[in-house]
């Protein structure tokens, strides 16, 4: 009864609060400001921030985003060296910028090192200032190794602030290396992610090799459309350094993306050889232009399958596998004949037979022997087969004949129920794993039952394998769950025509090495955010107009290693060769991804969206805890 009363009161309060929400503007001009702070310093940096912010406001920007720790810069030997330049919120920085927000009816986001007045702790923070003053703040949750020297992890969760230009969430730089940090404010209804960033590179002579290099400013290029949210990302630009502390170059390349993943504006990238001056870039976003991808994600996600988010991975993880495995994969790409099982099988077998090297894993497109057939309630009984049926045996025989693991998919009949099913065969043609598609699209829900697990299959030969069937790639949590379950490979059998979802990688020039900035953005992001090599097999042409692009995507393309290896635009068995766990010099890998993840903040991702706790967390969007009102 107490819970019901609380829910009633909460529902009434929520209704009243809705009446007071300011009406939102549709078209919003936004600005992402590049800036070069000097360290040590504060007063001159704030003066410079006032100048660039005023200019952006005079140019009509309603939202102005400034970079990470823009008031101080980054290079300090220790906390004592930074101490004289710390600020509070509210404080000197907000006092300097508030008059601009008030005069121009603008919203300003700026990054700074904040000293908590009560605890004395230092946080890498961002503050949102509006026409009436400070609206709220965010403290960086995901700290890279160097940040721990100067600041403490955030303790405010992922707040979303209601304004008359939309719901604004703040993230800071390295936050975007963990997918959960992008998903949580999105679940709270954020229209805009405002991202102060300090994305840098270090020269080899600093001794950091590639471990110190990261390009979080490049991440937003491939995730905006996947998440269905507008992104305004401002980066530091220029060289910052100090004697004995090293030299770092901040890349610039500020960018603005709409909720469809379209790049609206981007600044040029500075390099050691071609240094560039700071720029302010502008674009207009439409808050009411909703994302079909985001709607699909919210309708299709299954939080009950994401409990792995709540598990803390100690440095010693029993599921971790760091043994290098040489992978010799074949991605089979062809145009099928609908319902011509024997003919399609013959095509597949010939593409395998033509190879001059031996594969240890073959990935086939979705339902490869049935072909590009749209399944529905009227034809499913005709096309579905039981496990161990004739198509299953054909696939099993292929694996056994060519002494390889093989991923095969089929519409499965099990009694009176139907599934979209993937079977992983080992090199003897035996089952190494069976996965029933767990996230069904709207048409599949008419005829199919969902699977109820996201398994990762252990193999002694290839490592650990997860499977995403076709458009399950639209659900970001699956990729991160597979990382949490320590997948080494993610296999995607596809029937993809790039009409309903998915767009080309469109990273601004200079942020990643040439050749590493191509492919399909969602597949590209799956590999990065799971830190698992991602292998896709897709059809070419046919009645569905599929686009091919069968490929393998690597873990850290921004570091320049193992760029996407994409099949040519033809019928082909496309060979890809790589070694898992072979390069520990890069700045991120699956081990680092997991052991430093803020697992304590992930619980909302695992709750049913009708759960009272989730609803309270979403509606009380600046609350730190999961459901403070209902847990009393």
Which residues are bridge partners to 361 per DSSP?
Answer: 329, 405
| Residue written as token pair 């992610």 | 193
Give the CB-side neighbour count of residue 595, counting CA atoms within 13 A.
Answer: 13
Whole-number Å distance between alpha carbons of 305 and 301: 9
Residues 6+ apart with CB under 8 A from 4: none
Q: Dig out the tokens for 213 from the structure.
A: 């290099």
**H runs (alpha helix) in 497-540:** 521-530
Q: Dig out the tokens for 550 from the structure.
A: 């069968």
**DSSP class per residue in 568-616:** -SSSEEEEEEEETT----SS--HHHHHHTS-GGG-GGGGS-TTSHHHHH
Q: Dig out the tokens for 287 from the structure.
A: 């808050």
Which residues are bridge partners to 248 per DSSP?
Answer: 240
| Residue written as token pair 């010939």 | 350
Q: Is the dihedral of CA 179, 192, 470, 526 positive or negative?
A: negative
Whole-number Å distance between alpha carbons of 181 and 186: 9
Element (H, E) at 466: strand 463-467
Whole-number Å distance between alpha carbons of 529 and 183: 12
**Which is nearest to 326 in space by CA: 360, 358, 352, 357?**
360
Q: Dig out the tokens for 169 from the structure.
A: 């969430």
The catalytic position among 114, 115, 137, 173 is: 173
Q: How is residue 188 annotated by DSSP? A: T
**Which is nearest to 252 in space by CA: 220, 222, 275, 225?**
275
Whole-number Å distance between alpha carbons of 259 and 124: 27
The catalytic position among 68, 477, 480, 616 is: 68
Report yes or no: 422 and 469 within 8 Å, Cβ to Cβ. Answer: yes
Whole-number Å distance between alpha carbons of 583 and 560: 12
Q: Tell me: cis bond preceding 40? Omega within 30 of 0 counts.
A: yes
Whole-number Å distance between alpha carbons of 528 and 177: 9
Q: Is 469 in a helix, a strand, or coil?
A: coil
**Which is nearest to 82 in space by CA: 242, 235, 216?**
242
Q: Does 47 qualify as catalytic in the annotation?
A: no
Whole-number Å distance between alpha carbons of 265 and 329: 38
Q: Does 140 qualify as catalytic in the annotation?
A: yes
Q: What are phi and psi of 338, to 5 degrees?
A: -55, 130
Report yes or no: 387 and 606 within 8 Å, Cβ to Cβ. Answer: no
Q: Does 68 qualify as catalytic in the annotation?
A: yes
Q: Is 343 in a helix, a strand, or coil?
A: helix
Q: What are phi and psi of 112, to 5 degrees?
A: -160, 160
Q: What are phi and psi of 458, to 5 degrees?
A: -85, 130
What is the bridge-based pairing of β-strands 280-286 and 326-333?
A: unpaired
Whole-number Å distance between alpha carbons of 272 and 566: 30
The catalytic position among 29, 137, 140, 437 is: 140
Question: Which residue numbers are catalytic?
Answer: 68, 140, 173
């Amino acid at each position: 009864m107490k819970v019901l009363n609380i829910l009633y009161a909460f529902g009434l309060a929520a209704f009243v609060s809705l009446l007071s929400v300011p009406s939102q503007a549709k078209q919003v001009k936004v600005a992402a400001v590049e800036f070069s702070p000097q360290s040590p310093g504060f007063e001159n940096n704030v003066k410079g921030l006032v100048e660039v912010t005023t200019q952006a406001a005079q140019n009509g920007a309603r939202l102005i985003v400034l970079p990470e720790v823009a008031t101080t810069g980054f290079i300090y030997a220790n906390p004592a060296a930074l101490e004289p330049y710390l600020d509070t919120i509210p404080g000197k920085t907000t006092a300097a910028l508030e008059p601009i927000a008030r005069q121009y009816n603008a919203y300003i986001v700026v990054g700074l090192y904040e000293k908590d007045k009560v605890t004395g702790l230092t946080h890498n923070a961002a503050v949102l200032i509006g026409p009436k003053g400070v609206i709220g703040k965010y403290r960086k949750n995901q700290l890279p190794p160097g940040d721990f020297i100067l600041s403490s992890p955030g303790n405010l969760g992922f707040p979303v602030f209601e304004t008359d230009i939309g719901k604004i969430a703040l993230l800071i730089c390295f936050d975007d290396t963990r997918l959960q940090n992008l998903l949580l404010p999105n679940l709270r209804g954020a229209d805009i992610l405002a991202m102060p960033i300090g994305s840098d590179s270090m020269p080899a002579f600093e001794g950091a090799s590639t471990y110190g290099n990261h390009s979080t400013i490049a991440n937003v290029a491939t995730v905006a459309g996947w998440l269905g949210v507008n992104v305004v990302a401002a980066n530091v630009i220029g060289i910052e350094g100090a004697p004995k502390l090293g030299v770092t170059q901040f890349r610039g390349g500020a960018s603005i993306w709409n909720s469809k993943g379209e790049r609206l504006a981007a600044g040029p990238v500075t390099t050691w050889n071609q240094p560039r001056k700071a720029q302010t870039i502008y674009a207009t976003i439409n808050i009411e232009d909703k994302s079909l991808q985001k709607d699909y994600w919210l309708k299709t996600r299954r939080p009950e399958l994401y409990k792995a988010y709540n598990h803390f991975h100690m440095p010693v993880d029993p599921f971790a596998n760091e043994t290098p495995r040489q992978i010799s994969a074949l991605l089979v790409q062809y145009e099928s004949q609908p319902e011509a099982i024997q003919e399609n099988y013959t095509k597949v077998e010939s593409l395998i037979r033509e190879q001059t090297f031996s594969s240890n894993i073959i990935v086939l497109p979705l339902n490869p022997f049935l072909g590009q057939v749209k399944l529905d309630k009227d034809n499913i009984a005709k096309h579905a087969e039981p496990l161990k049926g004739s198509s299953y045996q054909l696939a099993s025989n292929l694996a056994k004949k060519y002494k390889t693991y093989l991923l095969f998919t089929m519409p499965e009949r099990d009694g009176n129920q139907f599934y979209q099913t993937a079977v992983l065969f080992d090199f003897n043609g035996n089952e190494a794993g069976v996965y029933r598609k767990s996230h069904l699209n709207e048409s599949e829900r008419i005829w199919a039952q969902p699977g109820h697990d996201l398994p990762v299959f252990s193999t002694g030969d290839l490592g650990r394998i997860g499977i995403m069937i076709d458009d399950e790639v639209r659900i970001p949590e699956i990729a991160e769950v597979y990382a949490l379950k320590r997948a080494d490979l993610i296999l995607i059998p596809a029937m993809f025509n790039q009409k309903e979802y998915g767009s080309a990688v469109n990273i601004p020039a200079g942020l990643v090495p040439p050749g590493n900035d191509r492919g399909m953005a969602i597949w590209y992001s799956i590999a990065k955010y799971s830190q698992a090599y991602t292998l896709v097999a897709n059809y070419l042409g046919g009645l569905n107009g599929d686009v091919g692009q069968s490929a393998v995507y690597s873990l850290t393309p921004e570091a320049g290693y193992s760029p996407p290896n994409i099949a040519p635009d033809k019928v082909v068995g496309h060979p890809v060769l790589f070694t898992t766990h072979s390069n520990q010099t890069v700045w991120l890998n699956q081990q680092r991804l997991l052991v430093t993840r803020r697992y304590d903040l992930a619980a909302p991702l695992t709750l049913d969206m009708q759960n009272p706790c989730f609803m309270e967390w979403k509606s009380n969007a600046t609350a730190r805890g999961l459901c403070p009102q209902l847990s009393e």
